Amino acid sequence: MLNVRVILSLLLLMVTLVPSLAAAEARLRLATTTSTENSGLLAELLPAFEKANDCKVDVIAVGTGKALKLGEAGDVDVVMVHARAKEDAFVDAGYGVGRKDVMFNDFVLLGPAADPAGVNGSADVADAMNKVAAGSAVFVSRGDQSGTHSKEKALWKAVGVEPSGDWYLEAGRGMGEVITMATERQGYTLSDRGTWIAFADKSDLQIVSEGDKRLFNPYGVIMVNPQLHPHVKQELAQAFIDYLLSSEGQAVIAGFKKNGKNLFFTY
């Protein structure tokens, strides 16, 4: 019976493969933004916590909007994101408890070296965005309800521009893809500094505006409300938040560098 043999050999293969997963240990689910995961920060930050608590942190790296949605549904235990207004709304609605500041960096406006909009060196980011909106080059928007997208929309609102037209590309993708797209199209985009530093050697864009206080980018950590979702691993989640805010965790964040530059700063 050939079929039986095929099935049996596959079954045997399965049985030998699966037990690697069965090793039971506590798992904490963290929904966070691509900027913390893809930059490599979490890979530095998590091992010490996992070892101390004999657990594994499952990181689901998505945009801030989706991370908060996962928290709302109770599909994760903790969220670490960067969009202050959305975070406050999340807590106010009862989906999360006790938002804490973890770290910060800032956003930067990136543009091509040729700088067709003439904004290079602009300290006033709103003014720079206004010039970009004139349409001399494309602006690539995340368009994905991420923290960066929220910040970008807030800036457009501040300058009174309703972005639309041929010059405004809504990519609907992560920060890395958007920087790549802006590089290929030689256009402008808004990025968090962390992702930009990690990407700088893969792109010939440059920072054209930085330092405006409106570009401040704080990251917060929030436990998903265990009263709303009783399966949330409250103790482990609290231990994780405590670790992030401990001198040990903060030292890892402050010491994390890429291409010789700090990506995140502690308070």
Partner 1 sequence: MSFLGESFSTAVALLLALDSEVLATVWTSLWVSLGAILISTVAAVPLGGVIALRGFCGKRLVLTLLNTLMALPTVVVGLLVYGLLSRQGPLGVYGLLFTPWAMMIGQVVLAVPIVVHYTVAAVAGADPRILPTARTLGAGPVRSVLQLLLEVRFGIVAAVVAGFGRVIGEVGVAMMLGGNIRGTTRTMTTAIALETSKGEFAFALALGIVLMAVALLVNLFLNLLQQR
Is the Cα torsion angle 206, 209, 211, 217 positive or negative in sign? negative
| Contact region with partner 1 (CB under 8 A), list: 18-26, 153-161, 206-214, 256-264 | 18-26
Work out whether 24 is an interface residue with partner 1 (CB under 8 A). no
Spatial separation of the C-alpha atoms in residues 153 and 162, rounded to whole Å: 9
* Strand pairing report for 216-224 and 96-111: antiparallel
Q: Is 29 a binder of partner 1 (CB under 8 A)? A: yes
Residue 63 near partner 1 by CB under 8 A? no
Contacts with partner 1 by CB under 8 A: the residue count is 39
- The two tokens of residue 236 are 């482990």
Alpha helices in the chain (DSSP H): 2-17, 19-22, 34-38, 41-53, 64-73, 84-92, 125-132, 147-159, 175-185, 193-199, 234-245, 247-255
174 binds partner 1 (CB under 8 A): yes
96 belongs to the binding site for partner 1 (CB under 8 A): no
32, 64, 180, 191: residue in contact with partner 1 (rule CB under 8 A) = 180
Among 52, 98, 204, 231, binds partner 1 (CB under 8 A): 231
Distance of alpha carbon 66 from the chain centroid: 10
In the complex, what is the shortest distance from the CB of residue 195 to partner 1, in angstroms, rounded to a whole number? 9
d(C-alpha 129, C-alpha 248), whole Å: 39
User: Considering the rule CB under 8 A, would residue 10 count as an interface residue with partner 1?
Assistant: yes
Read off the tokens for 115.
């700088």
Which chain residues interact with partner 1 by CB under 8 A?
A: 1-3, 5-7, 9-11, 13-14, 17-18, 20-21, 29, 34, 38, 43, 56, 58-61, 73-75, 173-174, 176-177, 179-180, 198-199, 202-203, 229, 231
